[in-house]
Chains A and B, each alone.
Chain A
Amino acid sequence: MTTPEPHAGNVWPIWEVFVRSSRGLSHVHAGSLHAPDAAMALRNARDLYTRRNEGVSIWVVPADAIASSDPDSKGSFFESPQGKDYRHATYYTKSEGVKHL
């Protein structure tokens, strides 16, 4: 388990918490918390985000370790699917009414 660099003073780093609510489902972001290391982050996540059987599995990830897309470049980063309706089944209308297709 990785542990991010402790920050200046006694400030514990931030961890993002992902919870699998039941078998067969993926882990979903539940929130974040502060903890000095991964083991404590898991324990804190259990106490904070699963007090009512909300999960069967927890991931904690140092917030610093997450790379994310730039919110300012929404258009340019995500534009590629635009104009590519043919990637969706709804694009193909001639087969309407044909069974099992």
Chain B
Amino acid sequence: MANITLTVNGKSVSASVDSRTLLVSFLRDHLRLTGTHVGCDTSQCGACVVHVDGRAVKSCTMLAVQADGSSVVTIEGLASAGGDLHPMQAAFREHHGLQCGFCTPGMIMTAVDMVNRKGSALDEATIRHELEGNICRCTGYHNIVKAVEAGAAAMAGGAQKVAAE
């Protein structure tokens, strides 16, 4: 067992965990933050993406003890404290970028990270390339790409396109 202290969605958390506990298991089973999902166990699908110290991480590939001292943001921590949706969350709804919703938290966390790294003027080819670590079985990615493009623009303060095309 190991004692860890980290910040999750702005709140300090301390726990004693089995050394082999994955970060995703810690979030889901210890903190009951079940918005982060496990889709594949092999770091391929991206349903488990969270932000660790501002960078997108597949939380099925990181031990909870490795996050000791870090600041973690999950999908539950993305909206404002007052409940306003993050622009990327709003864009996914506006552009029908989700169907069953299972990959969606990871997609949104990846998309926010993409904008943080690449800026808000993202073209389709860049978005598609950057999404290679996130698998969606429902949408065919068409509307996810549109959502990310619009969400990126909204993060920069630009107007969102109104209609899902």
Does B associate with A? no
Chain B interfacial positions (CB closer than 8 Å to A)? none
A interface residue numbers (CB < 8 A to B) = none
